[in-house]
Amino acid sequence: MSAYLYPVERYSGSPTDLAESLRWLGITERPPTDEVVCSEWNDKVGRVLREVGDVTTYADGRVTTWPYKDATPAERIVLLRTAERVVTHGTGEPGWTLRVTPGGRRYHWCAVSVLVEKPAAAAEASATAAVDHDRRVLA
């Protein structure tokens, strides 16, 4: 799984206002997906992360954000800022993968995750177990 981690930024406007202001860069926000995504996971150092959606960039310059159904307004802003960053910095940063459609069209894709300040009990237990396991194995 590819994931790029961004901090949740403080932004005083709504995600809808931000999306509108980014349209001139070719960025569009798609409606949230209808599917529920089990999006909390643990990274290699035991932090709990939450995948909030993905960003896709196309050869013609279009960039789309696809928030998950349960993405908060702050997380939608993170997706939009990720899209803005790819327009200004390209897809050379970690987490971006090149994909090809069955028809041969190429595009770059990135899942976007944020740190979870208060993890769900299951994810927190998993993170604790992973750290305990590493202590036993690597000791």
Domain ranges of the chain: 3-138
Cα–Cα distance measured from residue 31 to residue 53, given in angstroms and rounded to the nearest whole number: 11
Residue 119: per-residue pLDDT: 65
| This model's pTM is above 0.85 | no
Contact 99, 108 (CB under 8 A): yes
At 66 the pLDDT is 92
Cβ atoms of residues 85 and 96 within 8 Å: no
Instruction: Provide mean pLDDT across the span 85-113.
Output: 90
Average model confidence (pLDDT) across the chain? 79
Would strands 106-115 and 3-5 be described as parallel, antiparallel, or unpaired? parallel
Determine which helix (DSSP H) or strand (DSSP E) holds 133, and give its type and residue range. helix 121-138
